[in-house]
């Protein structure tokens, strides 16, 4: 955490967008030096989410996914925890029928 | 605001309690230590402004694992059984009598929230995710139509107010679109908020579900992207191509990566520009 903070230039912002289960250790000097900020951000509003989807449609952006069956979910969780997925599992719900 | 007050406020915003339900197939966790297993859940029959969606794909987010295992107990304690899933893409199966936005067969999506108070400053500004009375999460949120908590997308169907349903552009692959609903918006929103674009440099930490979307958006917005990751994550040819011209900061993991110069922090090495 402090390592990443120290990469920021003056007035730079480190934005947290995930929520690890344990609190993060941060030292004060990373902020004092170069007037840096620590911030957070959660998803986006409905209008912004639609704009993001439309932007993806215009630019051909999708996630790189590995499609799994619903029955593989427990195995997928274990692989996710080992970062063994490039880069997102997606469940094909036809497998639930 | 207490959880009870939050629930009350949201309920007041949508006072219609719906008794009619139908049965949906799902996968649920019965406890923090239980495996995910088949489960049957009630879904409300669509109200006047609801959309009933046949779910085609649902992404798997790390939040699902945190919630299923009650790892966020202090902030968001999990109510069991828990049906996770908030990266939902599906087809409209039915619309409510007063529905205006969607019709049967439309390709639609649902993300992390399914309702909010619609009156507070954040909601009015289109920032429903910061609803001052608490947004309703797609799963493990207070269900203001049925008792208990909301059930997410690990299911064959879901019923959502049309104002919280998104339209999927027809050009996009539905499976690859599902993760945009959490991983995509979670990364694109802060990039936009902090004006990441041409002439700006941004660092992305980690190349997972969120990180890889962050790189794609930051590059599409025209920024200079620096990625902090373990180089083992970047072996697939398709990936190298996708991240062409992305500068990488990698932990010293593999000898085959040739470093050009030391980065400012000793435990990291700045690697050459990846080109294909």
Convert the pLDDT of each residue in B84-122 to its tens digit. 999 999 999 999 999 999 999 999 999 999 999 999 999
Domain interval for residue A91: 63-97
Q: What is the pLDDT of residue B232?
A: 58
* B254 and B209 fall within a common domain: yes
**Model confidence at B249: pLDDT above 80:** no
Q: Which of A60-74, B31-45, B208-222 has the lowest mean pLDDT?
A: B208-222
Highest mean pLDDT among A67-71, A84-88, B258-262: A67-71
Total domains, chain A? 2
Q: What is the structure's pLDDT at B220?
A: 92
pLDDT score at B186: 98
Q: What is the pLDDT of residue B175?
A: 98
Q: Is the pLDDT of residue B276 over 60?
A: no
Return d(Cα B122, Cα A42) in angstroms, integer: 13
Report the pLDDT value the prediction gives residue A4, as an integer from 0 to 100: 85
* ipTM reported for the complex, 2 dp: 0.95
The answer to whether residues A26 and A72 belong to one domain is: no
Cβ-based contacts of A88 with chain B (< 8 Å): 59-60, 179, 183, 209, 212
Contacts of B206 (CB under 8 A, 6+ apart): B228, B229
Mean pLDDT value of segment B198-207: 89
Residues 21-60 of A with CB under 8 A from B: 21, 39, 41-50, 52-60
Asked whether residue B161 is domain-assigned, the answer is: yes
CATH number at residue B211: 3.40.50.720
Confidence band, pLDDT 50/70/90 cuts, at residue B231: low
Average pLDDT of B203-216?
Answer: 90
Report the mean per-residue pLDDT for chain A.
Answer: 94
**What was the pLDDT predicted at B16?**
57
Crossing angle (nearest 10°) for helices B209-220 and B183-193: 40
A6-9 long-range contacts (CB < 8 A, ≥24 apart) are: A6/A30, A6/B264, A6/B265, A7/B203, A7/B263, A7/B264, A7/B265, A8/A34, A8/A36, A8/B203, A9/A34
Cβ–Cβ < 8 Å for A34, B149: no
A52 and A28 in a common domain: yes
Q: Which domain holds residue B203?
A: 183-271
Residue among B94, B96, B106, B221 nearest B166 (CA): B106
* Contact: B27, A13; criterion CB under 8 Å: no
Average pLDDT of chain B? 83
> Is some CB atom of chain B closer than 8 A to the CB atom of A69?
no
* Same domain for A91 and A45: no
Rounded to a whole number of angstroms, the distance from the CA of B181 to the nearest CA of chain A is: 7
Structural domain count, chain B: 2
Are B144 and B37 members of one domain?
yes
Would you put residue A49 in left (φ > 0), alpha (ψ -120 to 50) or beta? alpha
Question: Would you say residue B276 lies in a domain?
Answer: no
User: Which CATH number does the domain housing residue B61 bear?
Assistant: 3.90.180.10
Q: Are B253 and B230 in contact (CB under 8 A)?
A: yes
What pLDDT does residue B89 have? 98
- Region B132-138: mean pLDDT is 97
pLDDT, one tens digit per residue, over A29-71 is 989 989 999 999 999 999 999 999 999 999 999 999 999 999 9
pLDDT at position B1 is: 46
Predicted TM-score of the model (pTM): 0.86
Gap between the Cα atoms of B54 and B35, Å rounded: 25
d(CA B91, CA B8): 31
Tell me, yes or no, whether A90 and A72 share the same domain.
yes
A97 versus A52: the higher-pLDDT residue is: A52
Sheet holding B247-251, edge to edge: B201-205, B224-229, B247-251, B268-271, B259-262
- Is residue A51 located within the same domain as residue A77? no
Which pLDDT tens digit goes with each residue over B157-180? 999 999 999 999 999 999 999 999
Sign of CA dihedral B98, B104, B108, B112: positive
Nearest residue of chain B to residue A9 (CA atoms):
B201
């Amino acid at each position: 955490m402090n390592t990443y903070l120290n990469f920021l230039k003056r007035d730079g912002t480190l934005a947290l967008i995930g929520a690890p289960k344990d609190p993060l250790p941060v030292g004060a000097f990373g902020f004092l030096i170069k007037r840096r900020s620590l911030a957070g951000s959660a998803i986006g509003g409905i209008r912004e989410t639609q704009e993001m989807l439309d932007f993806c449609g215009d630019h051909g952006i999708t996630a790189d996914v590995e499609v799994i069956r619903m029955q593989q979910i427990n195995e997928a969780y274990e692989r996710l925890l080992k970062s063994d997925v490039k880069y997102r599992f997606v469940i094909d719900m036809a497998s639930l029928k | 605001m207490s959880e009870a007050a939050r629930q009350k406020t949201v309920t007041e915003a949508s006072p219609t309690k719906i008794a009619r339900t139908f049965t949906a197939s799902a996968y649920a966790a019965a406890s923090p230590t239980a495996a995910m297993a088949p489960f049957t859940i009630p879904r409300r029959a669509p109200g006047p402004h609801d959309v009933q969606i046949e779910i085609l794909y649902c992404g798997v987010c790390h939040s699902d694992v945190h919630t299923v295992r009650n790892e966020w107990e202090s902030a968001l304690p999990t109510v069991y059984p828990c049906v996770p899933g908030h990266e939902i893409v599906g087809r409209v199966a039915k619309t409510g009598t007063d529905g205006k936005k969607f019709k049967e067969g439309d390709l639609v999506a649902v993300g992390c929230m399914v309702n909010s108070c619609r009156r507070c400053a954040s909601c009015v500004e289109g920032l429903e995710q910061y609803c001052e009375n608490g947004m309703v999460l797609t799963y493990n949120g207070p269900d203001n139509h049925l008792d208990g908590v909301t059930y997410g997308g690990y299911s064959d169907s879901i019923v959502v107010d049309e104002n919280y349903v998104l339209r999927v552009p027809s050009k996009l692959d539905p499976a690859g679109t599902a993760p945009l609903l959490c991983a995509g918006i979670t990364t694109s929103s802060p990039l936009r908020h902090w004006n990441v674009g041409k002439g700006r440099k941004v660092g992305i930490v980690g190349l997972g579900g969120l990180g890889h979307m962050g790189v794609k958006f930051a590059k599409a917005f025209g920024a200079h992207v620096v990625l902090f990751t373990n180089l083992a994550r970047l072996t697939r040819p398709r990936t190298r191509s996708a991240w062409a011209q992305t500068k990488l900061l990698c932990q010293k993991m593999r000898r085959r990566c040739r470093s050009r110069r030391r980065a400012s922090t000793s435990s990291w090495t700045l690697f050459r520009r990846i080109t294909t």
